A and B are shown apart, each in its own frame.
Chain A
Amino acid sequence: MQLDFTLSFTETQWICFDDSIEILADSLDELDNHIERHLREKYQKGSFRIKMFFDFDRFPHWYRQYMPHYFNRDYTYTIK
Chain B
Amino acid sequence: MSNLNKKWYSGMSSTEDWWSAWLGLFFFGLGLLSIWGLDVVGWIAKPKAWEFTNLINNFSWSKLIKTSSKEYAHLHPLVSILITYIVFTGLTSIGAYFQKLNVKKYIVGFTIIFLLTWFAWIVGYEVHFSAIDAVLKGKNLFEVYDLSWGLQLGGGFGFMLALAIGLIIGNFFKGFATKIREAAKPEWFIKTAIVLLGIKLGMMTMKAAGFTYELALAGAAAAFVAYLLFWPIIYYVGRKFFKLNRSSAAVLSSGISICGVSASIATAGAIKAKPIIPIAVATLVLVFAMFELVILPGFYSSVAPNQPIVNGAAMGMTVKTDGADAAAGAILDELMVSKQLKTHNIKWEEGWILSAAILTKIWIDIFIGIWSFVLAVVWIRNVENKKQKERIPWSEIWFRFPKFILAYMLVWFIYLGMMYFFPNILDNAQVGGNIVQGTFRKFMFMLTFLSIGIITDFSKLKGMGRLTLLYAIGLFVIIAPIAYLVAYIFHHGMMPPLASS
Q: Which residues of A contact B (CB under 8 A)?
A: 6, 9, 11, 14, 28-29, 32, 53-77
Contacts and interface: CB of A to CB of B under 8 A. Distances in A.
* Most chain A CB inside 10 Å of its own CB: which residue of B275, B390, B391: B275
Nearest to B5: A69
Nearest to A55: B2
B270 A73 contact: no
A67 B265 contact: yes
Given A6-B2, A64-B16, A69 B399 contact: yes
A53 B393 contact: no
Interface of B: 1-6, 11, 15-17, 100-101, 181, 185-188, 260-262, 265-266, 268-270, 272, 274-276, 279, 282, 321, 376, 386, 388-393, 395-396, 399-400, 455
Contacts of B268: 70
| Interface of A: prevailing SS | mixed
Contact of A68 (B11, B181, B275, B321): B11
Nearest to B185: A65
Contacts of B274: 9, 14
B289 to A, nearest CB: 11
Contacts of B393: 72, 74
Nearest to B191: A65
B261 A56 contact: no
Contacts, number: 99
Contacts of B455: 62
A34 to B, nearest CB: 13
Contacts of B188: 65
14 contacts: A9-B275, A32-B386, A55-B3, A57-B1, A57-B3, A59-B279, A62-B181, A63-B282, A66-B261, A68-B5, A69-B396, A71-B270, A73-B390, A74-B392
A20 B321 CA distance: 40
A25 to B, nearest CB: 12
A58 B275 contact: yes
A15 to B, nearest CB: 12
A11 B275 CA distance: 8
Contacts of A11: 276
Contacts of B391: 74-75
A27 to B, nearest CB: 9
A53 B5 contact: yes
A7 B2 CA distance: 10
B75 to A, nearest CB: 34
A61 B282 CA distance: 13
Contacts of A77: 388
Contact of B389 (A6, A28, A54, A76): A76
Contacts of A63: 261, 265, 279, 282
A14 B321 CA distance: 28
A66 B321 CA distance: 8
Nearest to A32: B388
A28 B269 CA distance: 12
Nearest to A13: B274
Contacts of B16: 64-65, 68
A9 B275 CA distance: 8
Nearest to A27: B274
Contacts of A14: 274
Contact of A66 (B11, B181, B282): B282
Contact of B272 (A6, A59, A71): A71
Given A59-B275, A61-B101, A65-B188, A72 B388 contact: no
A72 B266 CA distance: 12
B6 A70 contact: no
Contact of A56 (B4, B266, B388, B389): B4
B4 A54 contact: yes
B4 to A, nearest CB: 4
Contacts of A62: 181, 455
A1 B192 CA distance: 43
A71 B269 contact: yes
B4 A55 contact: yes
Contacts of B275: 9, 58-59, 70
A66 B269 contact: no
